[in-house]
Amino acid sequence: MAGRGDPPEEPPESQADGEDEYRALVFDESFVRAARLQEFSAQERMGEHARAVRSVPRRPPRKGPGLAGTLVVLVALAFASAVYIGFRQPLPDPALGRAEPLQATVVPLAPRGAVPGGSPRSLIEHGPAAHFRIGSAGINLPAVRRTENFSETQIMAALATAKDFLVESSLDPDVLGGRETGTVKALLDPDQAAEFDLSMGSASGDDRHPAAGWLVRFDPARAELADPAIRVYGTLAYTETDAGRLEVVADHTFTYALRPAVNGPRQADGASLFTVHRLLHFRFDRDDLRLHRLELRTAYVQAGPQSCSSGASPALRPLLAGERADPAGPAGTDPYATGTPAGGLCGTLEISPPLGQAPPAPASPSPASPASPISVSPSLESGPAPRPVPSPWPEPGRILRGAGGA
């Protein structure tokens, strides 16, 4: 026999082949919790039909923050993040509004007698445009100084865009001949695109939407360029109107040598001069400066020699060498009629000095001199110096003028 502390010599009878017969039964913690049984006391078991055990009621679930609390926390975090991002990255400036419709005035200048003719060279050398520069060289940018809200770079961008518009709308041969308009439209604010298309598509002419307010275009059935060297003289000026806008005024005179648009040989002395004075008022916001575009607010145009009846034409109809203005004069206007007035403006073309006399050289304005108030003259004249025109700015003392094309 084995002693008290010695193990038995043979394995217990309950074991088979050294294996525990209850090893296959696994009572893990989850199984025990799921049973939830409790033994009755001895007194309770003495009763009739008493059960040996009873089920323990399930514990109520622990109360936590739940779904509503989680949503509140997420909303608070999102709001805090939005506030933080707003301080770090402020919103851009709000839009300043849509571009306004163009206000254009086109005044045909009628000659008193027959239009002088000659060769393009002789007409230029003995006329008031003898000292004008050729092409874009006559559109000079002024010296600039930063304003309260615009840097020198931004002001130069506005002036450069205005110059590009003048070049495309006044000097491009395809635009002058009526074969191209897209290059001018590409420089306009998109809000003015529909109005521009309406002006270009008007076949009969429209006093409310004159094409000459946007660009210089000659009737291809009447005239064409006799000399591609177009003479130009004028000035550019700028001012800041508020914290979000910059305005530029272009005051330029363009002199063209034209000839009749007919097939076959032409006479060498069959050319004549045509003068267009354009006073254009541009406006720029910060998007315009960034995208190289502009808004054309007002256009005041004097063009001649023309007949007074050609004011509403879809294109300029020049009077050529030897031709005279329509003796009928401008159309009558009834002040008692309602609606849009039917009459138009017309002026008399006065060239000083007359053709054939050597003109004096035009004086260049001082780059830093402030502009003086401009008054309206009862007579409309064409000459080397900028003529009196209505001032587009109520405070001309703030304008900075640049050198002209002399």
- The full DSSP string for 139-166 is -PPPP----SS--HHHHHHHHHHHHHHH
Place of tokens 């025990």: 32
Cis status of the peptide bond prior to 260, with omega within 30 of 0: no
Q: How many residues are recorded in the chain?
A: 406
> Which of 284, 281, 279 is closest to 296 using CA atoms?
281
Which position has the token pair 């210089």? 216
Q: What are the residues whose beta carbons fall under 8 Å from the beta carbon of 322, sequence distance 6 or more?
A: 114, 115, 117
Place of tokens 């002789």: 122
User: What token pair was written down for 299?
Assistant: 């256009």
Amino acid letter, residue 321: A
Dist. CA 235–CA 280, nearest whole Å: 11
pLDDT reported for residue 92: 47
| Alpha-carbon gap, residue 232 to 277, rounded angstroms | 10
Q: Which value, to the nearest 10 degrees, does the dihedral of the CA atoms of residues 188, 172, 197, 162 take?
A: 20
Distance CA 154, CA 260 (A): 44
Would you call 253 exposed, middle or buried from its count of C-beta atoms within 10 A (0-12, 13-18, 19+)?
A: buried
Within 10 A of 183 (CB to CB), how many other CB atoms are there?
16
The Cα 225–Cα 176 span in angstroms is: 8
Q: Residues 286, 244: contact at Cβ < 8 Å?
A: yes
Predicted local distance difference test score (pLDDT) of residue 365: 43
In the 8-state DSSP scheme, what is residue 315? Answer: S
pLDDT tens-digit profile, the chain (406 residues) = 455 555 555 555 555 555 556 655 666 666 666 665 566 677 766 666 556 555 556 665 555 556 777 888 888 888 888 777 766 554 444 445 677 889 999 999 999 999 999 999 999 999 999 999 999 999 999 999 999 999 999 999 999 999 999 999 999 999 999 999 999 999 999 999 999 999 998 665 556 778 999 999 999 999 999 999 999 999 999 999 877 899 999 999 999 999 998 765 566 678 999 999 999 999 999 999 999 999 999 999 999 999 988 766 789 999 999 999 987 666 666 677 666 555 568 888 887 655 545 555 555 444 333 333 322 233 333 333 333 344 444 333 333 333 333 3
pLDDT of residue 268: 65
